[in-house]
Amino acid sequence: MSEAARALLHRLERLRTSVAALVAARSADDPTAGDPLRGLYISPETATRIVNAPAPQLPAPDGPFTPEPGDRLTAVAAGFGLTVLDELILLAALAPDVDRRFEQLYGYLNDDVGRRRASVALALELAGTGSYDPVARGRLHPAAPLVDGGLIVVEDEDRPLPGRALRVPERVVAHLLGDDTLDGQLGDARVELLAPVPGDESATADGLAARIAHSPRPVAVHLRERRAGSGADAVTAALRGAGRPVLHHRPERAEAATARLLLREARLRGAGTAVVVELPQDQPGPYVRELAAGDVTVVFAGTEPYDPGWAPDAGLLALEDTAAETAPLAAWSEELPSYEGDLADAVGPYRLGAGQVRRAARGARALAGFEGVPVGLGHVQKSARLLSAPLLDKHARRVRPAVGFGDLVLPDEPLALLHELAGRARHRDRVLGEWRLRTGGGRGRGVVALFAGDSGTGKTLAAEVVAGELGLDLYVVDLSSVVDKYVGETEKNLERIFSEADRTDSVLLFDEADAVFGKRSEVKSSHDRYANLESAYLLQRLEAFDGIAVLTTNLRANIDEAFTRRLDLVVDFPFPDVELRATLWRACLAGVPQEAGLEAELDACAKEFELAGGAVRSAAVTAGYLAAGRGSPVTAEDVRTGARREYVKSGRLVPGVGAAWTP
């Protein structure tokens, strides 16, 4: 038996003495005391006795009570601000939940064998007062600590207060008996109990998080994060490093009922327990008001700005998250000390907080252990990508990159610019953050590039290559789900995309970007004015963008010059010359069985047919299907047939033929 259970039973034995005295007093002048049907009906004699009986006066137990070691009721009273009267009421209410003998005794004292819990009148009588005492009745008011704190539930709302039953939730009874298991209702609500990790100095590195963790008194803080979860993770780590348990809540919806359960759990566990909440975006006002009680350290973290209307009287501190201002390379190095290679280069594209880094590193180690190999670049990228995957599927199509720079056939200049684009994405935190090369005006740390060139020159492929090089997913924005005929809806859809891309790690691709990033025009009608408003919104949003975006266009001249000024890089994709076209043909057919002497034919096709890379690939696919249909290797005629069909598709004259060739 635990010390807590032993101490509680000692208290209940003391209560049983009071109950026995009350039973003796009731039965002494009760003519129906021996009636086996007592409590099932009220006889005239019983009614007369009730009318003539004086008001009950039972003194409280004599002498001061000295709690035994492990007594949790005293600690609960301190944590919830209970009075001595509150303690006695709580003890009387929970007695049947621990010792079933009280059920029968309470049934007798309630004059109803079916009512085996303490009524309000009975609990107050056992506490030495009665339901005639306004102060005693006030201890069961909805705003009183016993009820408001969730320690007691006053049932039977249709009855008068003295006859209402008192119930103690099972979580409270279990805690008083020594059970520290998390409330099952909180587990269902996505609450995690995190034990303290004292002595973890790395967890308290961030100054703001350390100040919250070591505050001499409970504080309520709203922490606005640059990235979802980064600030919450930093504060959680700091609190645990300071030796404090943390209740970490990631609610799908912010409900006041869950906040009350959280507050009760924190108070039951003691003054050092803190609550860290990753706030959702759906009207968290009632939740915040309920949880910001002032006697428990509570940190509300979220990307949305603080709204004073949430809890105007709570005295919340509105602070900005500083944990994401610098790249957490130290946390990566600490978690992966044996990583072979340039760790800074591998993790540069990921903007994760310290806590997220630790989870990603654990995932990378587990994945490498499963494969039986040392932790490598692929393990780190896969684990980090899972933590930072955006939720853009409604407005964008996800592409898991499966190509690299070896698959690109481009001149040296655009190839070098693509490498520079990947480098900018990796090192932006160092250059714009540590080296302070970011301009003012609220400009973000985003990397935005424009890929310009004719159709089929490799712009989309290049975006996929850059994403694959960075270990990120590519999201191709679906313009049909973004552009809306109603005024203002297009901007709302774009804002959802930009906001999600800001908070997570991915490469955003706006294919055919001139549809939304086109030039502004002179206002001649209301349509022109609203179109210009859309462009103005995009100009402002690009300034504050924190993610990685690629715009592609076939006509660079259609892009507004104001957008061009905000671009980090402009990469021109030239139409391939003869040498590049020959290389493209060989690259597309590299894995295909070929007849002898096909190399010379590929050089001839490169000279005769002026095709871009996309058209060359389509022609190679056609040649492959023709060969597969015959069950033989690809021949020169297959290649020429594919090239001619691409000419016909574009409406061009086939070389060596007087008119458009028809297959």
pLDDT in tens, 550-602: 999 998 888 888 888 888 999 999 999 999 999 999 999 999 999 998 999 99
pLDDT at position 560: 81
Helix (H) or strand (E) holding 572: strand 569-573
Q: Has residue 118 got a pLDDT over 50?
A: yes
pLDDT digits (tens, 9 = 90+) for 291-315: 998 899 999 998 888 888 888 887 8
- Give 578-649's CATH code, choosing from 1.20.910.10, 3.40.50.11540, 1.10.8.60, 1.20.1370.20: 1.10.8.60
Is 224 in a helix, a strand, or coil?
strand
pLDDT digits (tens, 9 = 90+) for 130-185: 889 999 999 999 999 999 999 999 999 999 999 999 999 999 999 999 999 999 88
Percentage of residues of the chain with pLDDT beyond 70: 88
- Give 329-388's CATH code, choosing from 1.25.40, 1.10.3470, 2.60.40, 1.10.8: 1.10.8
Q: Has residue 395 got a pLDDT over 80?
A: no
C-alpha separations of 39 from 48, 93, 106, 118, 542 in Å: 16, 20, 11, 15, 77
CATH topology of domain 184-320: Rossmann fold (3.40.50)
User: Could you tell me if 468 and 402 are in contact, meaning their C-beta atoms sit under 8 angstroms apart?
Assistant: yes
- In angstroms, rounded to a whole number, what is the distance separating the alpha carbons of residues 659 and 654? 7
Span 37-52, average pLDDT? 56
Asked if domains 184-320 and 329-388 share a fold, the reply is no
- In angstroms, rounded to a whole number, what is the distance separating the alpha carbons of residues 417 and 345? 18
pLDDT at position 52: 58
Burial of 430 (0-12, 13-18, 19+ CB in 10 A): middle
User: Could you tell me if 514 and 406 are in contact, meaning their C-beta atoms sit under 8 angstroms apart?
Assistant: no
Least Cα distance to 451 among 558, 519, 551, 549 occurs for 551
Residue 53: which pLDDT band, with cuts at 50, 70 and 90? low
pLDDT digits (tens, 9 = 90+) for 348-390: 888 887 777 888 899 999 999 999 999 999 999 999 888 777 7
- Cβ of 333: how many Cβ atoms within 10 Å? 15
- In angstroms, rounded to a whole number, what is the distance separating the alpha carbons of residues 564 and 542? 11
- In angstroms, rounded to a whole number, what is the distance separating the alpha carbons of residues 548 and 498? 10
pLDDT digits (tens, 9 = 90+) for 493-538: 888 888 888 878 899 999 888 877 877 666 666 666 666 777 788 8
- Give 405-573's CATH code, choosing from 3.40.50.10420, 1.10.3720.10, 3.40.640.10, 3.40.50.300: 3.40.50.300
- In angstroms, rounded to a whole number, what is the distance separating the alpha carbons of residues 582 and 609? 10
Domain ranges of the chain: 3-176, 184-320, 329-388, 405-573, 578-649
Q: Has residue 282 got a pLDDT over 80?
A: no
Strands (E) located in 311-395 = 317-320
pTM over 0.85: no
